[in-house]
Amino acid sequence: MRKSHKIGVAVWTVQILLALLFLFAGVTKLAMPSDTLAAQGPFAPDFLRFIGFAEVAGALGLVLPGLLRIHRHLTPLAATGLAIIMIGATVSTIAIGGGPAALVPLVVGALATFVAVRSGTLSTSST
């Protein structure tokens, strides 16, 4: 197996896993009652719903362009947006005293950054 093929498989694997994670997180935020969302932390339910919408859109942006073979340049943009959300999640987790728990959004953000960089590289090299 060629190195570029292995990297492509790795990127797709991470994209699919991230898409599933963000789809679950986003749909949960969108479906959860406002009072339950408000109890989750210091953020307003409307803000959390916005984040949920952005997570669902990002999840779709990670996989649909490649699956449909159209507008593949949107995948690195979706991954970048999700990485930015994870920067905010990491900082806010640390700010509310969640120290070690901040590793989860940090790792997810790093994986989203990996997808942003590698999918951008792959889409420009394959065109």
CA angle 105, 106, 107 (to 5 degrees): 90
Side-chain-side CA neighbours of 26 within 13 Å: the count stands at: 20
Q: What is the distance between the alpha carbons of residues 9 and 97, in angstroms, rounded to a whole number?
A: 37
- At position 126, the amino acid (one-letter code) is S
* 3-state secondary structure at position 100: helix
- pLDDT at position 126 is 47
125 has a pLDDT exceeding 70: no
Confidence label for 123 from pLDDT (cuts 50, 70 and 90): low
26 has a pLDDT exceeding 70: yes
Structure-block tokens of residue 37: 């969302």
Q: What is the distance between the alpha carbons of residues 100 and 88, in angstroms, rounded to a whole number?
A: 15
- Neighbouring residues of 91: CB distance < 8 A, sequence distance ≥ 6: none
Structure-block tokens of residue 108: 């997810």
Q: What is the distance between the alpha carbons of residues 99 and 90, in angstroms, rounded to a whole number?
A: 9
pLDDT tens digits, 86-117? 999 999 999 998 889 999 999 999 999 999 99
Which residue stretches of the chain are H helix?
3-31, 34-38, 45-68, 74-95, 103-125
Confidence label for 76 from pLDDT (cuts 50, 70 and 90): very high
* 3-state secondary structure at position 126: coil
